Amino acid sequence: MTASNNPARPRGGRRALRVLLPALIILGWLAAASFGGPLFGKVDEVSSNDRTAYLPASSDSARVQELQTRFAGSDEIPAIVVAVSDEKLTDAQRSTLSDAVASTTDIAGVGDDVSPALASEDGKAIQAFIPIRSGADLGDVVTGIRTHLEDAAPAGVTVYVTGPAGFSADLVAGFAGIDGILLGVALAAVLVILVLVYRSLLLPIVVLATSLFALCTALLLVWWLAKWGVLLLSGQTQGILFILVIGAATDYALLFVSRFREALRVEQDRAKAVLSAWKGSFEPIVASGGTVIAGLLCLLLSDLKSNSALGPVAAIGIVFAMLSALTLLPALLMAFGRAAFWPRRPRFDPEAVAAEGGMPTAGVWARLADLIRRRSRVIWIATTLVLAVGTLGVLQLDASGVPQSDLVLGSSQARDGQKILGEHFPGGSGSPVQVVAPKAALQDVADVLLADSGIDGVSVTAKDSPSGTAPVTAEGVQPVGRPGSPAPEPTVVDGDVMLQGTLTTAADSAAAEDTVRRIRAAVHGTGAVVGGVTATAVDTDDASLHDRALIIPVILLVILLILMMLLRAIVAPVLLIATTVLSFGTAMGVSALVFNGVFRFAGADPAVPLYGFVFLVALGIDYNIFLMTRVREESRRHGTREGVRRGLAITGGVITSAGLVLATTFAALAVIPILFLAQLAFIVAFGVLLDTFVVRSLLVPALVHDLGRAVWWPSKLSRGER
């Protein structure tokens, strides 16, 4: 018999392909994850938490930061040391502290130009400035300085390390748990939910492996792009990437597994069941992921590099989450088949499925679907009113920015040190206002600084001065050292000089920001630019406010267009966008009340509402996509109102499980003691639960049911019988 006449050979070839293709897919993902996994402990090598690095290049702060290196001859980061006693320091104590400060140059990473220790007017404290080389590990160097000075401090003297280096070290320490604690908490929480949902031992591991492999592979690409300088990566972006990939990949996997379970009841062959599940899941998964990616890429319009960098980083994560759900998960389910669900294996029972009409006839979702069929108008009106009341809390939201000292939750030596510094020295010591001005305008700019009530003193960079600066008064640059000695010549770079104004209040205070704004207005027209720590915060907050006003409308428009293409309608997408925005407003309103009344936060970063909007709208639309694609599918066969009933009854369980998973993963961000991440964790977790249990379960189905076929206008479906 010839090969062409042998029917066994094609079947054998297909059988081999069914084994070989899943095996190759699994091996490919395993190989990629094996390269990405080891990078979890190395992300800090390619990331930065320097706020200035994320400013628009055109901002005054960024320009001053660039010029400062040329004036100082280095880009060292200053650490401020303050030592304090309840009693006036003795000469011996001051001498011991001075020697200890001077000897910090022996610590690896500390620069050579350590300033002498200066005593406060009340004699109870001393302060000194210790430069830290930019290439050093900031956290390790600051820890070394703290340990060295604490060991050397006389009895009764407490030492703090604060200033830009101290606060940056606290941030580094806050983000230190991302690779371990955050990931561990998120994975453990998801595993518990999956076990409860599936009541299976193997399937939760399969789903979690899908998510973890997606994360490892995404991290592999992101790490190298950051290494090559293509992307900017920070601890904040890293944490969001981890959570987003785990949550999204698990959600997509839940949808696929639900379809696979359905198919196994009418298909004996596991390959046919996988193919059926793939066909049913492809459109909602791609549409859902595409919506999130489109929303994230809108962040590229941001002036802040921290926002524009998050867009592509998170989008890469979503791409791999989709790919893992549509390739790796089907391959694993092809390998395990019904055994993946053990001990609750789906039975092949097409007769029972036919008798049920293809949908659950019992259970909470079937009962809820029946309730919505009877009381749809009452339900959507009542739900809308409750959500609208919740939005009123937005009036209590203070998202104008927070002091740098409040960025880290819990204990902070830098924050404590800044408080002590303000009690014994001018509040802005060590973090001055920096003004780069034409040399010809030096005195005019100095006069502006001297006349401002928020400035305690003014100096100018001078290389031939022992301290590197010389004081400036209304009479000009003053001598340094013995009376009658000549005044140092200011350092000039391309015709410019750098002045520094010591703030009377803490550099991260609202009063200091007001001082910077006054100075900028006063020196406008002189060619001077104002920078420094306070100016960086001002420029960051202003850029965030600009981003909010620009990006939020763009995201809404982009997602609306995607929904129109997906649902082939106009009315339904507009309703989905409106309900999601209402849900976002309620989530922000409730969050504002909780932040102010429960947690007593000092405020919120201006980027918090933007990030909350991006994730809640993009991810909240996901559940509406999962629901409405199934409703549309059922409506084509049974009519719109019956389609709503069937769609809700069929998808209710899986979408609720997906919402719980995503809310739990975002809530895990709260284990990182950073204010921004803690606030984002609450907003997104609460908002996702609101979307899952209220908007998608009650509001949307009731509204669509009440409108009937008009919801599909102007597609052919709107001209059906029901």
Question: Is 426 a member of any domain?
Answer: no
The DSSP symbol for 569 reads -
Pair (581, 464) in one structural domain: no
Per-residue pLDDT tens over the stretch 258-286: 889 888 888 888 889 999 999 988 988 99
pLDDT value of position 197: 85
* Percent of all residues in the chain with a pLDDT value above 90, rounded to a whole number: 35
Pair (584, 714) in one structural domain: yes
User: Hey, what long-range contacts does 702-705 have (CB within 8 A, 24 or more apart)?
Assistant: 702/372, 702/375, 702/376, 702/377, 702/379, 702/380, 702/383, 703/376, 703/380, 703/575, 703/579, 704/572, 704/575, 704/628, 704/631, 704/640, 704/644, 705/372, 705/373, 705/376, 705/640, 705/641, 705/644, 705/645
Pair (662, 559) in one structural domain: yes
Pair (508, 620) in one structural domain: no
Per-residue pLDDT tens over the stretch 163-183: 888 888 888 777 776 667 788
Per-residue pLDDT tens over the stretch 609-662: 999 998 888 777 878 888 888 888 888 888 888 888 888 988 888 888 888 988
Q: What distance, in Å, lies between the first and last C-alpha atoms of the chain?
A: 58
Question: Is 618 a member of any domain?
Answer: yes
Pair (167, 183) in one structural domain: no
Question: Is 308 a member of any domain?
Answer: yes
CB-based contact 614:299 (threshold 8 Å): yes
Name the burial class of residue 554, with classes exposed (0-12), middle (13-18) and buried (19+) by CB atoms within 10 angstroms of its CB: middle
Question: Is 520 a member of any domain?
Answer: yes
Helix, strand, coil content of the chain in percent (nearest 5): 70, 10, 20
Say how far apart CA 622 and CA 212 lie, in whole Å: 21
Instruction: Give SS3 for 457.
Output: strand
Contacts of 713 (CB under 8 A, 6+ apart): 569, 570, 571
* Percent of all residues in the chain with a pLDDT value above 70, rounded to a whole number: 93
CB-based contact 659:255 (threshold 8 Å): no
CB-based contact 621:291 (threshold 8 Å): yes
Band the pLDDT of 680: cuts 50, 70, 90: very high
pLDDT value of position 73: 65
Mean pLDDT to the nearest integer, 349-360? 65
**Domain span at residue 705?**
368-411+545-721
Say how far apart CA 362 and CA 349 lie, in whole Å: 17
Per-residue pLDDT tens over the stretch 64-81: 888 887 777 666 788 889
Band the pLDDT of 187: cuts 50, 70, 90: confident
CB-based contact 419:505 (threshold 8 Å): no
- The pair of three-digit structure tokens given for residue 278, joined into one six-digit string: 């793939």
CATH of the domain at 457: 3.30.70
Average pLDDT of the chain to the nearest whole number: 86
Question: Which of 531, 553, 584 represents a domain boundary (last residue)?
Answer: 531
Question: Which of 504, 531, 558 represents a domain boundary (last residue)?
Answer: 531
Question: Is 12 a member of any domain?
Answer: no
Pair (150, 186) in one structural domain: no
Band the pLDDT of 353: cuts 50, 70, 90: low
CATH of the domain at 111: 3.30.70.260
Q: How many domains does the chain fold into?
A: 4
Name the residue among 241, 19, 221 with its Cα closest to residue 27.
19
Question: Which of 172, 199, 220 represents a domain boundary (last residue)?
Answer: 172
Name the burial class of residue 231, with classes exposed (0-12), middle (13-18) and buried (19+) by CB atoms within 10 angstroms of its CB: buried
Pair (586, 696) in one structural domain: yes
Pair (89, 145) in one structural domain: yes
Question: Is 417 a member of any domain?
Answer: no
362 pLDDT above the threshold of 70 = no
Pair (235, 117) in one structural domain: no
pLDDT value of position 9: 46
> What is the secondary structure of 232-287 as a DSSP string?
---HHHHHHHHHHHHHHHHHHHHHHHHHHHHHHHH-SSHHHHHHHHHHHHHHHHHH
Q: Which amino acid is at 372?
A: I
Instruction: Give SS3 for 310.
Output: helix
Q: Which amino acid is at 70?
A: R
Say how far apart CA 216 and CA 33 lie, in whole Å: 5
Pair (405, 314) in one structural domain: no
Token match 């009764």: residue?
156
Pair (405, 471) in one structural domain: no
Say how far apart CA 494 and CA 162 lie, in whole Å: 33
Question: Is 134 a member of any domain?
Answer: yes
Name the residue among 240, 237, 309, 234 with its Cα closest to residue 56.
309
> What is the secondary structure of 128-149 as a DSSP string?
EEEEE-TTS-HHHHHHHHHHHH
Pair (97, 165) in one structural domain: yes
Band the pLDDT of 351: cuts 50, 70, 90: confident
Name the residue among 690, 684, 714, 691 with its Cα closest to residue 625.
691
CATH of the domain at 609: 1.20.1640.10
pTM for the full model? 0.84
For the chain, the residue count is 722
Question: Is 8 a member of any domain?
Answer: no
